Amino acid sequence: MTDRFASAIELASIIVIGLCVLLFGWVLLQNVAHFGPYAAVMLVVLGTLQVIALRRNVMARGPMATVRATRDVAFVAAIVLALAEVLTRQRWAIGATIAAVEFAIVLELFARLAPAPPAA
C-alpha cells in the first residue's frame, strides 16, 4: 500500500512541476538570465550530468530505455536552449525551453504510467 501511495505522490509532484513550469517557467528563466556567467556555468554542469544520465539510459536495455533516453535528450535540449537565453537573451529561447521541458515531463509521465511489459 505504501509503495502505491509513494508512486501516486511522485506522479502528483511531476504534474505540479509541469504546471509550474508551464505557468511560471518564463519568469524563472528570465530571473536566472540576470546572473549571466554564473547561470551559464551551472547550466553547463547540469547539462554534463544530464548527458551522463542520457548515456546510462542509452546503454540500458529494457522496454522503457528508449523513452527514458528520449526524455534525457529533451532535457539536454532544454538546457541548451536555456543557455541560449542566458548568454544571448533571445526571446524565442524562452518558449522553446519551456516546450522542451514540458515534452520531457510528459515523457516522464508516460514512462511512469506505462503498464509493465510481460515477462519474457
Q: Identify the domain containing residue 88 by its residue range.
A: 2-113
Look at residue 119 and tell me if it is in a domain.
Answer: no
Look at residue 118 and tell me if it is in a domain.
Answer: no
Look at residue 59 and tell me if it is in a domain.
Answer: yes
Residue 76 and residue 50 in contact, taking contact as beta carbons nearer than 8 Å: yes
Look at residue 40 and tell me if it is in a domain.
Answer: yes
Task: Report how far Cα 15 is from the mean position of its chain's Cα atoms.
Answer: 13
- Domains: count for the chain: 1
Number of CB atoms found within 10 A of residue 90's CB:
12
What tens digit of pLDDT does each residue of 6-57 get? 888 888 888 888 888 888 888 988 888 889 899 999 999 999 999 999 999 8
Q: Which residue type occupies 82?
A: A
Look at residue 120 and tell me if it is in a domain.
Answer: no
What tens digit of pLDDT does each residue of 60-76 get? 887 788 888 888 999 99
What tens digit of pLDDT does each residue of 79-92 get? 999 999 999 988 89
d(CA 47, CA 1): 36
Residue with cell 513550469: 21
